Chains A and B, each alone.
Chain A
Amino acid sequence: MKFKISKKDISTILGRVQGITGRKSNLAITANVLIKGEGQGISFVATDLETGFEGHYAADVEREGAITINAKKLFEIVQNFPGEEVLIEEIERQWIEIKNNNIVYHIVGMSPDDFPDVPRVDEVTFTRVATGNVREMIEKTVMIQAPSDEKRAHITGVCFERIQQADSQLMRMVSTDGRRLCKVDVEIGQEDNFVPGESVIVPKKGLMEAAKILDKEEFVEVGVKDNYLIFKMEKETVIIGLLEGDFPEYEQVIEKDDAFDIEVDRKLFSMMLKRMSILSSDSYNSVIFNFAANRLEVTATNPDLGESKEDMAIAFERDEVEVAFNPKYLIDTLNVINDERILVNLRDNHHPCLVEGVDEKRFLSIIMPMKI
Chain B
Amino acid sequence: MILHLDMDAFFAAVEQLDNPALRGKPVVVSGHSARSVVSTASYEARQYGVHSAMPLFQALKLCPHACVVPGNRRRYQEISAQVFAICREYSPLVEQVSIDEGYLDVTGCEGLFGSPVDMAQTLRQRVAKETGLTCSVGVAPVKFVAKVASDLNKPNGVYVVTPESLDAFLVALPVKKVPGAGKRTVALLDELGIRTLGDMRRFPLSTFTQKLGQAGERLYALAYGRDAAGVSGEPEEAKSISCESTLEKDTTDPAFVYARLLAQADEVAGELRRKGLFAKRVTLKLTFADFRRITRQTTLTRPTHLSGHLYAEAVTLFDREWTGQRIRLVGLGCSQISHDEATPPSQLDLFGQVARQEVRDEGWEKVEQSVDAIREKFGKYAVTRARVKK
**Stretch among A9-17, A128-136, A178-186 lining the B interface:** A178-186
Q: Which of A178, A180, A288, A369 has the most chain B CB atoms inside 10 A of its CB? A: A178
Write out the residue numbers on chain A whose beta carbons fall within 8 Å of the beta carbon of B343: 303
Across the two chains, which residue of chain B brings its CB closest to A369? B348
List of A residues within 8 angstroms of B345 by Cβ: 286, 288, 324, 370-372
Interchain CA distance A253-B347 in the complex, whole Å: 16
Interface pair B344/A350, CB less than 8 Å apart: no
Is B236's CB within 8 Å of the partner chain A?
Answer: no
CA gap between A326 and B347 in the complex, in Å: 8
Number of residues on chain A facing chain B (CB within 8 A) = 24
Query: Can you name the residue of chain B whose Cβ is closest to the Cβ of A154?
Result: B351
**Is the CB–CB distance between A370 and B350 below 8 Å?**
no
A323 CB to nearest chain B CB (Å):
10
**Residues of chain A with a CB closer than 8 A to B353's CB:** 178
Determine if B349 is an interface residue (Cβ-Cβ < 8 Å). Answer: yes
Q: Assess the B349–A284 pair: CB atoms within 8 A.
A: no
Report, as a range, how many residues of chain B touch the other chain: 10 to 19
Q: Is the CB of B351 within 8 A of A370?
A: no
CB distance from B300 to the nearest CB of A (A): 12
The answer, yes or no, to whether B346 is at the interface (CB within 8 Å) is: yes
Q: Looking across the interface, which residue of chain A has its beta carbon closest to that of B280?
A: A283
Q: How far is A151 from B351 in the complex, measured between Cα atoms in Å? A: 17
CB nearest neighbor in B for A284: B344
The reply to whether B346 and A178 contact each other, CB–CB distance below 8 Å, is: no
> A80 to B13, alpha carbons, bound, how many Å?
82
Residues of B contacting A253 in the complex (Cβ-Cβ under 8 angstroms) = 350-351
Shortest Cβ distance from residue B355 to the other chain A in the assembled complex, whole angstroms: 8
Establish whether residues A368 and B346, one from each chain, have CB atoms under 8 Å apart when the complex forms: no
A27 to B344, CA, bound (A): 45
Scan residues 272-294 of chain A and give those whose CB is less than 8 A from a CB of chain B.
283-286, 288
Does A241 sit at the interface, judged by CB under 8 A?
Answer: no
Whether the Cβ atoms of A248 and B351 lie closer than 8 Å is yes
What chain B residues lie within 8 Å of A181 (beta carbons)? 350
Residues 193 to 225 of chain B near chain A (Cβ within 8 Å): none
Contact A179 B344 (CB under 8 A): no
Q: Name the distance in Å between B343's Cβ and chain A's nearest Cβ.
A: 8
Complex contacts, A284 vs chain B, CB 8 Å = 344
A285 closest partner in B (C-beta): B344
Q: Does A176 make an interface contact (CB < 8 A)?
A: yes
Q: Which residue of B lies closest to A281 (CB)?
A: B344
Residue on A with the closest CB to B349? A178
Q: Are B347 and A368 in contact (CB under 8 A)?
A: yes
CA distance A250 to B349 in the complex (A): 12
The verdict on A5 contacting chain B, using a C-beta distance below 8 Å, is no
Interface centre among B343, B344, B353 (most CB of A within 10 A): B344
Distance in angstroms from A14 CB to nearest chain B CB is 38
Cβ B346 vs Cβ A371 within 8 A = yes
- When the two chains form their complex, are residues B350 and A178 in contact, meaning their CB atoms are under 8 A apart? yes
B344:A176 contact, CB within 8 angstroms: no
A181 vs B349: C-alpha distance when bound (angstroms): 10
CA–CA, A55 and B170, complex, Å? 86
Question: A347 CB to closest chain B CB, in angstroms?
Answer: 13
Across the interface, do B344 and A368 meet the contact criterion of CB distance under 8 Å?
no
Measured CB to CB, the nearest residue on chain A to B353 is: A178
What distance in Å separates the Cβ of B208 from its nearest Cβ neighbour in chain A? 43
- A303, A352, A371: which contacts B350 (Cβ < 8 A)? A352
Chain A window 294-327, contacts with chain B (Cβ cutoff 8 Å), 1 for yes, 0 for no? 0000000001000000000000000000001010
Docked-complex contact A178 and B344, CB < 8 angstroms: no
B361 smallest CB distance to A (angstroms): 13
- A366 on the interface (CB 8 Å rule)? yes
- List 10 A–B pairs whose Cβ atoms lie within 8 Å, in order of A's numbering: A176-B350, A178-B350, A248-B350, A248-B351, A253-B350, A284-B344, A286-B344, A286-B345, A371-B346, A372-B345
Chain A residues with CB under 8 Å of chain B are: 176, 178-181, 248, 250, 253, 283-286, 288, 303, 324, 326, 350, 352, 366, 368-372
Q: Which 8 A-B pairs have the closest CB atoms?
A: A370-B345, A286-B345, A324-B345, A368-B348, A284-B344, A178-B349, A248-B351, A370-B347
Taking A326-B347, A369-B348 as given, write out 20 further A-B residue pairs in contact, using a Cβ cutoff of 8 Å, ordered by the A residue number: A178-B353, A179-B347, A179-B348, A179-B350, A181-B350, A248-B350, A248-B351, A250-B350, A253-B351, A283-B344, A285-B344, A286-B345, A303-B343, A324-B345, A368-B349, A368-B350, A370-B345, A370-B347, A370-B348, A371-B348
